[in-house]
Amino acid sequence: MPTFLNTRDADFEARFTALLGQKREDSPDVDAAVAAIIADVRARGDAAVLELTARFDRLELTAGGLAFSEAEIDAEIAKVSAADRAALELAATRIRAYHARQMPEDALWQEPTGATLGWRWTPVSAAGLYVPGGLASYPSSVLMNAIPAKVAGVKRLVITCPTPGGVVNPLVLLAARLSGVDTVYRIGGAQAVAALAYGTETIRPVDKITGPGNAFVAAAKRRVFGKVGIDMIAGPSEILVIADGENDPDWIALDLLSQAEHDESAQSILVTPDAAFAARVVAAVEKRLETLARRAIAGASWRDFGAVIVTRDLAEAAALSNRLAPEHLELCVADPDALSLAITHAGAIFLGAWTPEAIGDYVGGPNHVLPTARSARFSSGLSVMDFVKRTTLSKMTPEALAAIGPAAERLAASESLEAHGLSVTARLGALNGAPNGGRP
């Protein structure tokens, strides 16, 4: 059974705090193994990657076969049905249109002092996307990672995707092609992350690595962080649905189950001021669980981590949601726009009962890589911003330096950084004799 809470209960705060602190993931400690793999790839390059791929993926490759050739990709893509291709193309088009609006703007302005200030955004030069193999090899995630990179202007974009036993998902290759990915390597695990970060004879290093993966991949990303940039380390998926009593219980049940079916550690929470409606949703979940293909996974998630919280009103529901800072938040209420203004922490908000969260997973346009485990308190979903960086710009004139330089000298003195101060003093001293802008 899921957890049942009611804000009117005396022990509510204690039980809600327990829910907040609940640990849903037991990451195996693979750090030592990952450190050894990374060291091996750094030391031996391709040879290490090939050996590790043979061992972990039961796949014998040569260096020349690490990447899919264009002909191989063509052959795989040919297997995709027209309907699947059309759906993927629609998704790619919509994701591209949404992310194109995220491109940040440069700025440059002149101050009254004469100084010019501003900043300029530039793309990361090369990025690598990790795509899991097997069942979790989601073409939608390829789009969600690759399209923002390409919109940002990343010139070289590569994918690593393990192909255990040589099997690849054709839709992953199609998604890569639709997104403008340059190269797809058929390797995975910590060895793929190491190859992307440090490079080998065949695989050129990248500057940023994104994408989901298992415990080995997550540990490897943590280890190479600093050498390259990484995105977040995502935890199990979550949904919180705030619903009033005027909803179809089956719709809400399916939305809760669409997270639960991801993973036994996923979490689905219903928050409603209507206790009778809550009971109807719970019944609808049970009924759907009887037939759902992934009922074992979804049932375990719902039983172990599901929760139903009955509140006094919608305002209280919003306040609890902010404390949970959910990855996905559905507002299935009469005026979702108004309620959304009370939401301060959430990865993505789905407004109104006609917006099931699954739309956001595929075709809505916003990114489906979102902050989990309450990290929406301080972080955002994947976006174009993850593939650009800002360079600040400053340009003083002699007059501007005369105006603000003395304050810099003063502060440098207070911090005992003499050369800092002297670099200003020398210029100010030359000011009278240097009408040519300081160029002697």
179 exposure class (CB count in 10 Å sphere: 0-12, 13-18, 19+): buried
322 exposure class (CB count in 10 Å sphere: 0-12, 13-18, 19+): middle
Taking the complex as a whole, the smallest distance from the CB of residue 238 to a copy of itself amounts, in Å, to 14
Window 270-289: contact mask with a copy of itself (x via CB under 8 A) = ------------------x-
Can you tell me the distance from the alpha carbon of 334 to that of 123, in angstroms, rounded to the nearest whole number?
Answer: 42
Q: Is 237 annotated as a binding residue?
A: yes
Q: Is 238 annotated as a binding residue?
A: no
Please tell me whether residue 32 binds a copy of itself under the rule CB under 8 A.
Answer: no
Taking the complex as a whole, the smallest distance from the CB of residue 406 to a copy of itself amounts, in Å, to 8
Q: Which is nearer to a copy of itself, 55 or 395 (CB)?
A: 395
Size of the site for a copy of itself (CB under 8 A): 129
Can you tell me the distance from the alpha carbon of 12 to that of 18, in angstroms, rounded to the nearest whole number?
Answer: 10
Q: Is 22 annotated as a binding residue?
A: no
Please identify which of the residues 238, 261, 264, 327 carries the catalytic annotation.
327
Please tell me whether residue 415 binds a copy of itself under the rule CB under 8 A.
Answer: yes
Window 331-350: contact mask with a copy of itself (x via CB under 8 A) = ---x-xx--x--xxxxxxxx
Please tell me whether residue 14 binds a copy of itself under the rule CB under 8 A.
Answer: no
Q: Is 420 annotated as a binding residue?
A: yes
Q: Which is nearer to a copy of itself, 53 or 267 (CB)?
A: 267
Can you tell me the distance from the alpha carbon of 238 to that of 302, in angstroms, rounded to the nearest whole number?
Answer: 11
The dihedrals phi and psi of 240, each to the nearest 5 degrees, come to -125, 125
State yes or no: is 327 an active-site residue: yes
Can you tell me the distance from the alpha carbon of 271 to that of 340, in angstroms, rounded to the nearest whole number?
Answer: 14
Window 86-125: contact mask with a copy of itself (x via CB under 8 A) = xxx-xx--x---x--xx-x--x-x-----xxx-xx-x-xx
**Do residues 220 and 190 make contact, with C-beta atoms less than 8 angstroms apart?**
yes
Q: Can you tell me which of 16, 130, 185, 251 binds a copy of itself, judged by CB under 8 A? A: 251
Q: Is 130 annotated as a binding residue?
A: yes
List binders of a copy of itself among 177-236 (CB under 8 A).
207-208, 226, 228-229, 233
Q: Can you tell me which of 45, 131, 132, 140 binds a copy of itself, judged by CB under 8 A? A: 140
Residues with a catalytic annotation lie at 327-328
| Known binding residues for substrate | 237, 259, 262, 328, 361, 415, 420
